[in-house]
A = this chain, B = another copy of it.
Amino acid sequence: MEHRFVAATYYRSLGPHPAALHVAAGDTVITSTVDARGYDKDRQQVTPRGNPQTGPFYVEGAEPGDTLVVQLEKVQPNRRYGWCGSSVAPNVVDPTYVRELPAAPLAEWDVDTQAGTATLLSPQSNLGSLVLPLEPMIGCFGVAARGGQAISTATSAEHGGNMDYRGFVAGTTVYFPVYEPGALFFLGDGHAVQGDGEIVGSGIEISMDVQVTLDVQKGREIGWPRGENADWIFTAGNARPLDQATQHATTEMLRWLQQDYALDPLAANLLMAQCVRYDLGNVFDPAYTMVCKLNKQWLPPRT
Protein backbone atom coordinates (compact mmCIF):
# COMPACT_ATOMS: atom_id res chain seq x y z
CA MET A 1 0.00 0.00 0.00
CA GLU A 2 1.12 3.53 -0.72
CA HIS A 3 0.75 6.38 1.74
CA ARG A 4 1.03 10.04 0.89
CA PHE A 5 1.99 11.81 4.08
CA VAL A 6 2.21 15.50 4.89
CA ALA A 7 3.95 16.27 8.16
CA ALA A 8 2.25 18.50 10.71
CA THR A 9 4.92 18.07 13.39
CA TYR A 10 8.67 17.57 13.19
CA TYR A 11 11.04 16.06 15.75
CA ARG A 12 14.60 16.88 16.67
CA SER A 13 15.25 13.72 18.56
CA LEU A 14 14.84 10.06 17.65
CA GLY A 15 12.82 8.60 20.46
CA PRO A 16 9.45 7.21 21.46
CA HIS A 17 7.41 10.08 20.03
CA PRO A 18 3.75 9.58 19.06
CA ALA A 19 3.40 7.84 15.70
CA ALA A 20 2.56 10.22 12.87
CA LEU A 21 1.35 7.40 10.64
CA HIS A 22 0.81 3.66 11.02
CA VAL A 23 1.85 1.56 8.03
CA ALA A 24 1.92 -2.14 7.34
CA ALA A 25 5.15 -3.98 6.69
CA GLY A 26 5.82 -3.63 2.98
CA ASP A 27 4.00 -0.32 2.63
CA THR A 28 5.42 2.65 0.78
CA VAL A 29 5.48 6.18 2.17
CA ILE A 30 5.64 9.21 -0.12
CA THR A 31 6.40 12.36 1.79
CA SER A 32 8.76 15.31 2.03
CA THR A 33 11.44 16.58 4.37
CA VAL A 34 12.38 20.11 5.38
CA ASP A 35 15.97 21.28 5.38
CA ALA A 36 18.31 21.25 8.39
CA ARG A 37 17.02 24.63 9.52
CA GLY A 38 13.36 23.73 9.17
CA TYR A 39 12.63 25.41 5.80
CA ASP A 40 10.34 23.70 3.33
CA LYS A 41 10.08 23.62 -0.46
CA ASP A 42 8.72 27.16 -0.49
CA ARG A 43 11.59 28.42 1.70
CA GLN A 44 9.15 28.91 4.57
CA GLN A 45 10.39 27.99 8.04
CA VAL A 46 7.81 25.57 9.35
CA THR A 47 9.72 24.24 12.38
CA PRO A 48 12.84 25.18 14.42
CA ARG A 49 16.29 24.34 13.13
CA GLY A 50 18.25 21.20 14.04
CA ASN A 51 17.67 18.51 11.42
CA PRO A 52 13.90 18.32 12.00
CA GLN A 53 12.54 14.90 11.10
CA THR A 54 9.46 13.80 9.27
CA GLY A 55 7.71 10.94 11.06
CA PRO A 56 7.77 8.82 13.05
CA PHE A 57 6.24 6.04 10.98
CA TYR A 58 4.98 3.14 13.01
CA VAL A 59 5.47 -0.13 11.14
CA GLU A 60 2.95 -2.71 12.24
CA GLY A 61 4.51 -5.85 13.60
CA ALA A 62 7.97 -4.40 14.24
CA GLU A 63 9.12 -5.23 17.75
CA PRO A 64 12.35 -4.88 19.70
CA GLY A 65 14.79 -7.48 18.41
CA ASP A 66 13.57 -7.21 14.82
CA THR A 67 15.17 -5.35 11.94
CA LEU A 68 13.54 -2.53 10.01
CA VAL A 69 14.19 -2.56 6.26
CA VAL A 70 14.13 0.82 4.54
CA GLN A 71 14.28 1.06 0.77
CA LEU A 72 15.25 4.55 -0.32
CA GLU A 73 13.34 4.83 -3.58
CA LYS A 74 13.26 8.55 -4.15
CA VAL A 75 15.49 11.22 -2.63
CA GLN A 76 14.97 14.37 -4.67
CA PRO A 77 15.38 18.07 -3.91
CA ASN A 78 12.06 19.89 -4.23
CA ARG A 79 13.32 23.46 -4.49
CA ARG A 80 16.21 25.29 -6.13
CA TYR A 81 17.74 26.98 -3.09
CA GLY A 82 20.47 25.15 -1.22
CA TRP A 83 23.01 26.35 1.34
CA CYS A 84 26.11 25.07 3.08
CA GLY A 85 28.84 26.17 5.46
CA SER A 86 31.73 28.00 3.86
CA SER A 87 34.50 27.15 6.30
CA VAL A 88 35.91 23.82 7.38
CA ALA A 89 34.88 23.08 10.98
CA PRO A 90 37.44 23.72 13.75
CA ASN A 91 37.38 20.08 14.86
CA VAL A 92 38.44 18.86 11.40
CA VAL A 93 41.70 20.83 11.14
CA ASP A 94 44.85 20.94 13.25
CA PRO A 95 44.18 22.89 16.48
CA THR A 96 46.94 25.33 15.53
CA TYR A 97 45.24 26.01 12.18
CA VAL A 98 41.85 27.00 13.61
CA ARG A 99 42.71 30.69 13.64
CA GLU A 100 43.37 30.56 9.87
CA LEU A 101 39.88 29.38 8.97
CA PRO A 102 37.91 32.07 7.13
CA ALA A 103 34.81 33.64 8.58
CA ALA A 104 32.11 33.88 5.97
CA PRO A 105 28.35 33.71 5.61
CA LEU A 106 26.70 30.50 4.49
CA ALA A 107 27.32 29.59 0.86
CA GLU A 108 24.29 29.59 -1.44
CA TRP A 109 23.70 27.19 -4.30
CA ASP A 110 21.30 26.93 -7.19
CA VAL A 111 20.08 23.35 -7.31
CA ASP A 112 18.72 22.36 -10.70
CA THR A 113 17.24 18.89 -10.70
CA GLN A 114 16.53 19.08 -14.43
CA ALA A 115 20.16 19.73 -15.26
CA GLY A 116 21.30 17.58 -12.37
CA THR A 117 23.61 20.27 -11.08
CA ALA A 118 24.32 22.53 -8.12
CA THR A 119 25.90 25.89 -8.93
CA LEU A 120 27.70 27.97 -6.30
CA LEU A 121 26.18 31.45 -6.13
CA SER A 122 27.88 33.06 -3.15
CA PRO A 123 30.03 34.06 -1.26
CA GLN A 124 32.55 35.52 -3.65
CA SER A 125 36.03 34.06 -3.71
CA ASN A 126 38.66 33.53 -6.37
CA LEU A 127 37.40 30.01 -6.90
CA GLY A 128 35.36 31.15 -9.86
CA SER A 129 32.33 29.15 -10.85
CA LEU A 130 31.76 25.73 -9.33
CA VAL A 131 29.11 23.45 -10.83
CA LEU A 132 28.73 20.06 -9.18
CA PRO A 133 26.65 17.06 -10.19
CA LEU A 134 23.76 16.36 -7.81
CA GLU A 135 24.06 13.33 -5.56
CA PRO A 136 20.99 13.69 -3.34
CA MET A 137 21.19 11.83 -0.06
CA ILE A 138 19.59 11.62 3.38
CA GLY A 139 21.78 13.08 6.15
CA CYS A 140 19.78 12.03 9.20
CA PHE A 141 17.39 9.12 9.50
CA GLY A 142 16.78 6.12 11.70
CA VAL A 143 14.55 4.68 14.36
CA ALA A 144 13.67 5.45 17.97
CA ALA A 145 16.84 5.00 20.04
CA ARG A 146 17.75 2.16 22.33
CA GLY A 147 16.39 1.80 25.85
CA GLY A 148 13.68 4.41 25.62
CA GLN A 149 16.15 7.20 24.96
CA ALA A 150 15.39 10.24 22.81
CA ILE A 151 18.66 11.13 21.06
CA SER A 152 19.26 14.46 19.35
CA THR A 153 19.25 14.61 15.56
CA ALA A 154 22.63 16.35 15.88
CA THR A 155 24.26 13.00 16.53
CA SER A 156 24.00 9.29 15.78
CA ALA A 157 24.29 5.90 17.47
CA GLU A 158 23.11 2.31 16.98
CA HIS A 159 19.68 3.50 15.90
CA GLY A 160 21.04 5.63 13.06
CA GLY A 161 20.61 9.39 13.21
CA ASN A 162 22.81 12.10 11.82
CA MET A 163 25.35 9.90 10.03
CA ASP A 164 25.80 12.23 7.05
CA TYR A 165 27.08 9.45 4.83
CA ARG A 166 27.15 10.07 1.08
CA GLY A 167 26.03 6.50 0.42
CA PHE A 168 22.45 7.00 1.65
CA VAL A 169 21.08 7.72 -1.82
CA ALA A 170 18.08 6.46 -3.77
CA GLY A 171 18.54 2.81 -4.68
CA THR A 172 19.98 1.89 -1.29
CA THR A 173 18.38 -0.47 1.20
CA VAL A 174 19.12 0.32 4.82
CA TYR A 175 18.60 -1.87 7.88
CA PHE A 176 18.06 -0.53 11.39
CA PRO A 177 17.75 -2.39 14.69
CA VAL A 178 14.27 -2.05 16.19
CA TYR A 179 14.15 -0.82 19.81
CA GLU A 180 10.55 0.31 20.18
CA PRO A 181 7.25 -1.25 19.07
CA GLY A 182 6.61 -0.16 15.49
CA ALA A 183 10.29 0.81 15.10
CA LEU A 184 9.26 4.50 14.73
CA PHE A 185 11.09 5.53 11.59
CA PHE A 186 12.14 9.16 11.05
CA LEU A 187 13.92 10.94 8.21
CA GLY A 188 15.12 14.40 7.26
CA ASP A 189 18.20 16.55 6.64
CA GLY A 190 18.49 16.07 2.87
CA HIS A 191 21.68 17.06 1.05
CA ALA A 192 21.74 17.78 -2.69
CA VAL A 193 25.51 17.18 -2.62
CA GLN A 194 27.90 16.39 0.21
CA GLY A 195 31.62 15.92 0.50
CA ASP A 196 33.00 13.05 2.53
CA GLY A 197 33.06 13.82 6.23
CA GLU A 198 30.62 16.73 5.97
CA ILE A 199 33.62 18.78 7.00
CA VAL A 200 31.93 22.19 6.84
CA GLY A 201 29.15 20.87 9.03
CA SER A 202 26.68 20.66 6.18
CA GLY A 203 26.08 19.32 2.73
CA ILE A 204 24.14 21.45 0.29
CA GLU A 205 21.14 21.57 2.59
CA ILE A 206 17.75 21.37 0.94
CA SER A 207 14.20 20.19 1.32
CA MET A 208 13.34 16.94 -0.42
CA ASP A 209 10.59 14.80 -1.85
CA VAL A 210 11.18 11.27 -0.66
CA GLN A 211 9.72 7.82 -1.13
CA VAL A 212 10.58 4.88 1.08
CA THR A 213 9.26 1.36 1.44
CA LEU A 214 9.34 -0.01 4.96
CA ASP A 215 9.49 -3.66 5.87
CA VAL A 216 10.32 -5.82 8.87
CA GLN A 217 12.59 -8.80 9.32
CA LYS A 218 11.16 -10.63 12.30
CA GLY A 219 13.61 -12.00 14.83
CA ARG A 220 16.70 -10.78 13.01
CA GLU A 221 18.76 -8.77 15.45
CA ILE A 222 21.48 -6.44 14.27
CA GLY A 223 23.82 -4.18 16.23
CA TRP A 224 24.35 -1.19 13.94
CA PRO A 225 22.82 0.24 10.77
CA ARG A 226 23.52 -1.90 7.73
CA GLY A 227 22.89 -1.26 4.09
CA GLU A 228 23.31 -2.51 0.57
CA ASN A 229 23.08 -1.35 -2.99
CA ALA A 230 23.58 -3.12 -6.31
CA ASP A 231 27.27 -3.74 -5.70
CA TRP A 232 28.05 -3.48 -2.00
CA ILE A 233 26.94 -4.45 1.46
CA PHE A 234 27.97 -2.11 4.25
CA THR A 235 27.77 -1.42 7.97
CA ALA A 236 27.91 1.93 9.73
CA GLY A 237 29.59 2.55 13.11
CA ASN A 238 28.87 5.81 14.93
CA ALA A 239 31.13 7.02 17.76
CA ARG A 240 34.11 9.15 18.66
CA PRO A 241 36.94 8.84 18.10
CA LEU A 242 36.79 7.58 14.53
CA ASP A 243 38.82 4.60 15.74
CA GLN A 244 35.85 3.45 17.76
CA ALA A 245 33.43 4.04 14.89
CA THR A 246 35.76 1.85 12.81
CA GLN A 247 35.71 -0.85 15.47
CA HIS A 248 31.90 -0.85 15.56
CA ALA A 249 31.53 -1.03 11.77
CA THR A 250 34.16 -3.73 11.41
CA THR A 251 32.74 -5.88 14.18
CA GLU A 252 29.24 -5.54 12.76
CA MET A 253 30.48 -6.69 9.34
CA LEU A 254 32.24 -9.71 10.87
CA ARG A 255 28.97 -10.59 12.59
CA TRP A 256 26.91 -10.11 9.44
CA LEU A 257 29.14 -12.41 7.41
CA GLN A 258 28.73 -15.16 9.98
CA GLN A 259 25.04 -14.48 10.58
CA ASP A 260 23.73 -14.28 7.02
CA TYR A 261 26.42 -15.71 4.73
CA ALA A 262 27.22 -18.88 6.66
CA LEU A 263 30.89 -18.04 6.92
CA ASP A 264 32.82 -19.55 9.79
CA PRO A 265 34.88 -17.10 11.88
CA LEU A 266 38.09 -17.79 9.98
CA ALA A 267 36.36 -17.42 6.61
CA ALA A 268 34.83 -14.10 7.65
CA ASN A 269 38.22 -12.81 8.78
CA LEU A 270 40.01 -14.03 5.64
CA LEU A 271 37.45 -12.41 3.39
CA MET A 272 37.70 -9.10 5.21
CA ALA A 273 41.50 -9.24 5.25
CA GLN A 274 42.11 -8.17 1.65
CA CYS A 275 38.62 -7.20 0.38
CA VAL A 276 37.36 -4.73 2.96
CA ARG A 277 36.77 -1.10 2.02
CA TYR A 278 35.90 1.85 4.24
CA ASP A 279 33.99 5.05 3.49
CA LEU A 280 34.07 8.05 5.75
CA GLY A 281 30.67 9.28 6.89
CA ASN A 282 30.72 12.42 9.00
CA VAL A 283 33.65 13.79 11.03
CA PHE A 284 31.75 16.84 12.21
CA ASP A 285 28.90 15.71 14.44
CA PRO A 286 29.22 14.62 18.10
CA ALA A 287 29.49 11.00 16.91
CA TYR A 288 31.60 10.33 13.80
CA THR A 289 30.57 7.72 11.23
CA MET A 290 32.73 5.08 9.56
CA VAL A 291 31.32 2.72 6.96
CA CYS A 292 32.76 -0.76 6.38
CA LYS A 293 32.03 -2.26 2.95
CA LEU A 294 32.39 -5.47 0.98
CA ASN A 295 31.79 -5.84 -2.71
CA LYS A 296 29.09 -8.42 -3.41
CA GLN A 297 31.28 -10.19 -5.95
CA TRP A 298 33.28 -11.70 -3.07
CA LEU A 299 30.29 -12.88 -1.08
CA PRO A 300 28.87 -16.38 -0.99
CA PRO A 301 25.08 -16.64 -1.44
CA ARG A 302 23.07 -15.27 1.47
CA THR A 303 21.51 -17.99 3.60
Contacts and interface: CB of A to CB of B under 8 A. Distances in A.
Interface of A: 12-13, 15, 50, 84-102, 104, 107, 118, 120, 123, 125-128, 130, 132, 146-152, 154, 193-197, 199-200, 203-204, 239-244, 246-248, 250-251, 254, 262-267, 269-278, 280, 283, 288, 298, 300
Given A107-B270, A272-B195, A274-B204, A97 B251 contact: yes
A98 B104 CA distance: 18
B102 A265 contact: yes
Given A130-B271, A195-B274, A152 B152 contact: no
A89 B251 CA distance: 11
The interface residues of chain A, by DSSP majority, are classed as mixed
Given A12-B147, A50-B147, A250-B92, A130 B270 contact: yes
A269 B88 contact: yes
Given A239-B240, A269-B102, A199 B276 contact: yes
Given A12-B148, A92-B247, A243-B243, 9 more contacts: A90-B95, A93-B254, A100-B265, A102-B269, A120-B270, A128-B300, A132-B274, A199-B250, A240-B240
A92 to B, nearest CB: 5
A196 B278 contact: yes
B13 A276 contact: no
